[in-house]
Chains A and B, each alone.
Chain A
């Protein structure tokens, strides 16, 4: 198993290299990061030339890429266009995104699987119809609509109803109250409880938005998977043994229905590290999604490549984890 994982990781290295080259070429050809400076007549030519040299714009693309690679393999992701180190920025965005998507993802999986299982066991009951209808609806909703609805209609109404229009309970902007430092003027940020409270009021809406569309997908998938195992021959055999229906459902149908869902779940966990661009945009969180868009807009290859390395590695690692989980859960699968 370890050998399998290691081999897969090794195979993935060329993939990372090719991806980074492509992304580098694309971003370099997107435009000129110094355009603002150049169009500003008050900035002297010499300063622009200096900046050009610093960013390596005067070098051929191959040289610039090589410079990046030779540093990156040592774990040094360099500095951005404004001369700030890249890694702390990416790390910060990574944590913001993790706080947002991890919680949403975990709750979505739990709710989705539970609802999917109940729906399948009680197929064609009113619960099934209601749950299937709701999840179909949410599954089809663009995230823009869900997030905007929560922000502009839901939060507004709830805050009004709570009588807190001046100092809204449910925050719609940012991932924390600014400034977040604990000072005498800002007692709201002091202590773990206050910090958690502050986080919760900010995280509620974006988490809910992600949760709603994500759970819907899982519940549909789990329902289909569970219906398949419930109608399988081995479930019939289990029933024929005379074991309790509960045991038939949990030990046979449910256990087996989790195999495909677990795989998808692992793949999704790898993908969410890239951030939730729309949600982060609407609720003004500065996570990985916004980082990607901002670095594209600023034509900042170093941030972009660091972003790519992190997200691509996550995708690859969780792909391997998905395969390993599959093999663990299904004895018929042999890793090769």
Chain B
């Protein structure tokens, strides 16, 4: 939104060859992240949001086929030498993973693992690294950091482990922190604390954040720019206000409708029926057509591109006008979806 983009993703595609064929996990994703910006990516599991971020980190399995471009401060990351990627990983681009229970190596102390992250990108001595590790633990709000640094991950609670992961992520003053479902595995009360810590430290190290989640509630309060992903593509993009109050893509509408108390109280929950299509053999047309209550004939033949529906607000749907005209778009999911021949959910 503001400032020069430091990270630019363009037409990113990722495919995984399997015994049954190629799974097209990401099918042409483009967006950019400016310095200190917080970008949210939401979508159901399996929509390609995590794969996108793994591609940025260069952490996809060797077999993955990556196309398109990811530029970090002008440097192309797709196809870059492993060594160059490694130099960026953990220093300029850091990552926080979903499950703090398994994300840390159970056989090393938390302090050791923090120290390892520090020493990977500097020539700190072992002692200096462990001293800095204790400072970092203190910074993320872990009490008694000296004692805690000597402990193993299993001696930490879930929230504390995620704080330690945040400490690890900020240890080398990164420009971008990718947080992949950072609070999903945590209690609701702990979630807020961890998010608050993340935002506070982001300002401290001047990093941008890419926040990946399936929980719209998490992004509502902290994100500048929001992307909605479905079946390996971005289907709607805009500010939080755009997405929450002016959704134009039926899938976004459905996602909001599945959110309890998003609009406060009286609204019924309106779940989206069916499940996302298999990315192995995708049928032509809009991938949401099988679940869409306002599906039209043209949805079954052509997949719509992202197009502007307002300032900085993009949506990939042929019926954006129709959605815009609805008084309460969520109601469309109450009516049984039209059954069009050949559009049954591909299960």
The answer on direct contact between A and B (beta carbons under 8 Å) is yes
Q: Which residues of A contact B (CB under 8 A)?
A: 232-234, 236-245, 251-252, 255-256, 259, 329-332
Q: Which residues of B contact A243 (CB under 8 A)?
A: 86, 90, 116-117, 120
Binds A, one of B72-80, B98-106, B315-323: B98-106
Cβ contact within 8 Å between B107 and A330: yes
Q: Which residues of B contact A332 (CB under 8 A)?
A: 106, 152, 154
B88 contacts partner chain A, Cβ-Cβ < 8 Å: yes
CA distance A204 to B99 in the complex (A): 51
B292–chain A nearest beta-carbon distance, Å: 35
Chain A residue with minimal CB distance to B59?
A239
Please, what's the 1-or-0 string for B80-92, where 1 marks a CB less than 8 Å from any CB in chain A?
A: 0010001111110
Q: Which residues of B contact A239 (CB under 8 A)?
A: 57, 59, 89
CA distance A234 to B154 in the complex (A): 13
If the complex has contacts A233-B97, A233-B99, A237-B97, are A330 and B106 also in contact, measured as CB distance less than 8 A?
yes
Cβ contact within 8 Å between B116 and A241: yes
Cβ contact within 8 Å between A242 and B154: no
Instruction: List 20 additional A-B contacts (Cβ < 8 Å) besides A237-B97, A239-B57, A240-B57.
Output: A234-B105, A234-B106, A236-B103, A237-B168, A240-B90, A241-B89, A241-B117, A242-B86, A242-B88, A242-B89, A243-B90, A243-B117, A243-B120, A256-B107, A329-B107, A330-B106, A330-B107, A331-B107, A332-B106, A332-B154
Cβ contact within 8 Å between A241 and B97: no
Interchain residue pairs A-B with the least CB separation, the first 10: A242-B90, A242-B89, A233-B102, A234-B105, A241-B90, A243-B120, A241-B117, A331-B152, A240-B95, A233-B103
Cβ contact within 8 Å between B86 and A244: yes
CA distance A237 to B94 in the complex (A): 10
Chain B residue with minimal CB distance to A244?
B86
Cβ contact within 8 Å between A331 and B106: yes
Cβ contact within 8 Å between B107 and A255: yes
Chain B residue with minimal CB distance to A252?
B105
Q: Which residues of B contact A (CB under 8 A)?
A: 57, 59, 82, 86-91, 94-95, 97, 99, 102-107, 116-117, 120-121, 152, 154, 165, 168
Cβ contact within 8 Å between A242 and B152: no
Q: Which residues of B contact A330 (CB under 8 A)?
A: 106-107
Q: Which residues of B contact A259 (CB under 8 A)?
A: 107
CA distance A251 to B116 in the complex (A): 11
Cβ contact within 8 Å between B59 and A240: yes
Cβ contact within 8 Å between A331 and B154: yes
Which of these, B82, B103, B105, B116, contacts A256 with CB under 8 Å? B105
Chain A residue with minimal CB distance to B98?
A233
A252–chain B nearest beta-carbon distance, Å: 6
Do most interface residues of chain A lie in helix, strand or loop, or is the interface mixed? helix
CA distance A238 to B94 in the complex (A): 11
CA distance A241 to B119 in the complex (A): 10
A279–chain B nearest beta-carbon distance, Å: 37
Cβ contact within 8 Å between B121 and A242: yes
Q: Which residues of B contact A329 (CB under 8 A)?
A: 107
CA distance A255 to B86 in the complex (A): 21
If the complex has contacts A242-B91, A242-B121, are A237 and B82 also in contact, measured as CB distance less than 8 A?
no
CA distance A236 to B57 in the complex (A): 10
Q: Which residues of B contact A236 (CB under 8 A)?
A: 59, 97, 103
* 26 CB-based A-B contacts, threshold 8 Å: A233-B99, A234-B104, A234-B106, A237-B103, A237-B105, A237-B165, A237-B168, A238-B105, A239-B89, A240-B89, A240-B94, A240-B95, A241-B90, A241-B116, A242-B87, A242-B88, A242-B91, A242-B120, A243-B86, A243-B117, A244-B86, A252-B105, A256-B106, A259-B107, A329-B107, A331-B106
Q: Which residues of A contact B57 (CB under 8 A)?
A: 239-240
Q: Which residues of A contact B168 (CB under 8 A)?
A: 237, 241
Cβ contact within 8 Å between B91 and A234: no
Q: Which residues of A contact B94 (CB under 8 A)?
A: 240
Chain B residue with minimal CB distance to A237?
B103
Q: Which residues of B contact A240 (CB under 8 A)?
A: 57, 59, 89-90, 94-95, 97
Chain B residue with minimal CB distance to A332?
B154
Q: Which residues of A contact B152 (CB under 8 A)?
A: 331-332
CA distance A64 to B195 in the complex (A): 76
Residue of B57, B105, B106 contacting most chain A CB atoms (<10 Å): B105
Cβ contact within 8 Å between A232 and B102: yes
Q: Which residues of B contact A242 (CB under 8 A)?
A: 86-91, 117, 120-121
Q: Which residues of A contact B59 (CB under 8 A)?
A: 236, 239-240
Cβ contact within 8 Å between B87 and A234: no
Chain B residue with minimal CB distance to A248?
B86
Q: Which residues of A contact B120 (CB under 8 A)?
A: 241-243
Cβ contact within 8 Å between B89 and A234: no
Q: Which residues of B contact A233 (CB under 8 A)?
A: 97, 99, 102-103
Chain A residue with minimal CB distance to B82?
A245
CA distance A329 to B165 in the complex (A): 23
CA distance A327 to B106 in the complex (A): 12
Q: Which residues of B contact A244 (CB under 8 A)?
A: 86
Q: Which residues of A contact B104 (CB under 8 A)?
A: 234, 237
Q: Which residues of B contact A241 (CB under 8 A)?
A: 89-90, 116-117, 120, 168
Chain B residue with minimal CB distance to A233?
B102
B70–chain A nearest beta-carbon distance, Å: 16
